[in-house]
Amino acid sequence: MTAIHDLTALQQAAAVRDRDVSPVEIVDHYLERIARLDAEVGAYATVTAERAREQARRAEAAITSGDLPDGVPSPLYGVPVPIKDLNLVKDVPTLFGSATYEGFVSPLDDSVVERLRDAGTIMLGKTNAPEFGLPCYTETYVAPPARTPWDLTRSAGGSSGGAAAAVAAGLAPAAHASDGAGSIRIPASMCGLFGIKPSRGRISTGPIIPDLAGLGTSGPIARTVADAAALLDVMAHSVPGDLSYAPPPGTSFAACAEREPGRLRIGRTAEPVVPGAEVHPEVTAAYEAASRLLESLGHEVVDVPRVYDSSILADFETLYYSYACVHPVDPAMEGKLRPLTAWLRERGLAVSAPDLLRAMSSLQLAARAGLAATAGYDALLTPTLTAPPVPVGWFEDVDDPAETFRRMERFSPFAAFCNVSGQPAVNLPLHWTPEGLPVGVMLAGRYGEEGLLISLSAQVEAAVGGFWGDRRPSVW
C-alpha cells in the first residue's frame, strides 16, 4: 500500500484538495517518521511539532469550509516544507548552525518564509545547516551530522545538508534550501535529489539578509522536477531594496516542467578550476552517461574549453572569507566557533575594503567574460562534485583548518562559478555507484532561463523513469 511519504509533494497537495487525506494526517505521518529516524539521519536542527500541527489544523479547516485565499488552494497547499536553519522564522529558534547563537529566537520572518506560509505550506521544522552555511558538509556543535540516507556513514553535504537528508529519507516531501557556492547542488548530488539554484535576484534575501555580491539565494530541493518547479513558483519574489532582479519567466515554472525543451546545444566540460582537484572515475562515468543520454534525446553535446581558469580562485577566496564575517558574533562567544569558521573569519577580518572591492570587480569581469563565451549554448554540463559522498568527518580529519578548506575546494570545484555569474543551475541525480552511492551531474543555464533548465530536466527525468529510476534508500 502506498504510504504518504511515497507521494510527491504535488500528489500530496492533490490528495488534500480531493479530501483523500488531510494536512493533519500528512503532518502526523512525517512527525512520526522524524521521531523514529532522524537521530540517525540528522536532517533537523529544530522540530516544530505543535506549530506544524496547528498549521495543519488551520489548513484542514480552510479546505473543509472553502475559506481559502482567492477561493482555491495553492498548488502546494497543505504540504509540509521545512525551512533551512539559516533563514529566519518568527518565534522559532534560529541557530545558523552555530553554538554562538544558542538561545536566539527570531523576531521576524524572512520574506521567502512569508511566501511559503502564504502558499499554505506547513513547516515541520528547521533543517540542519553547518555553521553560518560556510562548509560544504553539515557537521556542527548544535545538531548531529547530516548523513546521506544512501549510506548513513557518509555525509549529506552542505550547506543544505539537512534539507537534502530530510527529502531523501522521506522526512519531508520537498524542502526550502539555499546556495551560496553550491549549497543546493552539493547535497542534492550526495543525496540523489533534484535541486535548483535559481538566477540571482529570482528569490529575495530580504528583509535582513544582505545581497552583498549576490552569491547566495534560496531554492528548492525535491525528488522530482515538477515538485521543485512548483516550489520555485512559490518562493520566487522580490522586495524593495533588492540589488538584483531576475526577469519574470513568462509562464509558471510548473508549466515549464510540462513542456518539451526543443533541440538544444549543450556545451560540456569536466576540467576542474581548482588546482589539484581530481575527478573520481564514478563521476566521470556519470558525466559521460549524462552526455550520451542528452544526445539520445536529440540534443547536440559539444566539448568546450574550461570556462574559468584558476586565476579567479584567489579573488573568490577573498570574497568567501569576507562572507564568513557577515554574521555578528559576540566576542565572548567566539570560543564556541568551530575551527574552520574561526579560521575563515580570521582571514575575512584581515581583508581590507579596497581588496574586497578589487576581488568583487575582478570576479564580475570574469563572470561577464564567461557568460559571453558560453552564450551560444543553451546549457552547460559539468560534474556536480569530483567524488561520490565522503564519510562523515572526512573534511575535518586533518589537523589544519586550511587543509579542510582545500579539501572543500577540491571536492566542489564546479558549482561556485554559477554563484559568481548569477546564472541558474540544477543537479540531476542520474548515476549510482556499484556501492549504491548517488552521483549527480550539473546543468547550468543562461541567466534568467530557469524555465528552459526545468524543461530539459523534466525531459531527462522522463527518459530515466519515475523518481529517477525509482530508487529508494533503505531507510525509506
Report the catalytic residues.
84, 159, 183
Task: Give dist(CA 105, CA 125) in Å, integer.
Answer: 14
Angle of helix 313-323 versus helix 339-349 axis, rounded to 10: 110
Lateral strand order in the sheet of 438-445: 174-179, 217-222, 194-197, 425-432, 438-445, 379-383, 265-268, 300-303
Task: Give dist(CA 451, CA 290) in Å, integer.
Answer: 20
Task: Give dist(CA 209, CA 199) in Å, integer.
Answer: 17
Task: Give dist(CA 59, CA 75) in Å, integer.
Answer: 13
Complete DSSP assignment for 200-251 = TTSB--TTTS--TTS--EEEEEESSHHHHHHHHHHH-B--TT-S--PPP-SS
Task: Give dist(CA 372, CA 349) in Å, integer.
Answer: 34
Distances (CA, A) of 232 to 73, 195, 253, 257, 455: 17, 10, 7, 12, 14
Nearest to 460 by CA among 252, 302, 293, 255: 293
Phi first, then psi, for residue 112 (nearest 5°) are: -70, -30
Strands 379-383 and 438-445, how do they pair?
antiparallel
Nearest to 98 by CA among 364, 329, 321: 329
Task: Tell me the chain's radius of gyration from C-alpha atoms.
Answer: 21
**What are 240's three cell numbers?**
524593495
3-state secondary structure of 432: strand
Task: Quote the Cα angle for 424-426-431, to 5°.
Answer: 160
First to last CA, the chain: 14
Q: How many CB atoms lie within 10 A of CB 118?
A: 11
Q: How many CB atoms lie within 10 A of CB 22?
A: 18
Strands 83-84 and 265-268, how do they pair?
unpaired
3-state secondary structure of 371: helix
3-state secondary structure of 396: coil
Q: Write the single-letter amino acid at 470.
A: D
